[in-house]
Amino acid sequence: MENLNKYVEHTLLKQDATKAELIKLFDEAKQYNFLGVCVNPCYVELAKENLKNSDVKIVTVIGFPLGANTTKTKVFETVNAINDGADEIDMVINVTKLKDRENDYIVDEIKQIKHACQGHNLKVIIETDLLDKDEIKLACELCIKGGADFVKTSTGFVKNGVGAKVEDVKLMYDTVNFAGLQVKASGGIRDKEAAIAMIKAGAARLGTSSGIKIVS
């Protein structure tokens, strides 16, 4: 498969990442012409500074990694991130509200955050490791109602979690494709074989810290 680099969001979200590691990430993203980088919100300005004069997208995470912040906090974070120079927003869904079937809460939160994105892409992380198949489908349906642009599998922060699974990506794709939403697979994608399997299942983006290994 060609142009694998244009699926990759080169990701560094670990809490002990150093500035030197982040700058290395940005340099690698430019070198390998990755589609984007994904970093925590406090590093969006650093990314902007290091990626100017390149077409690498700056992606950041909101309500990360638990999704349990108040909607008001997530909206504030989103506005702040866009103002700092983020091109795309990956928000974490409130998994408890989803499991308790507080559907209106989920839809309203997505709508508010999408509005705060000011026209930029919004991806909703549904955390598939914590959901059964019916819950994955429901989460995707609520993302459609909320006006999201993408559904995303995982944060990569669930203890003993697997991350993206081919069958989950396919289920997500089958649920949202008719409505024009896309799928981002993330978590545990560590080689070319896994990357291609995710793309064949319907993923339009790959969130991974193994981008160089995948494209090499």
Q: Which residues are catalytic?
A: 90, 152, 184
Cβ contacts of 119 within 8 Å, gap of 6 or more? none
Tokens standing for residue 65: 């990694």
Phi, psi of 154 (to 5 degrees): -150, 160
Residue type, 186: S
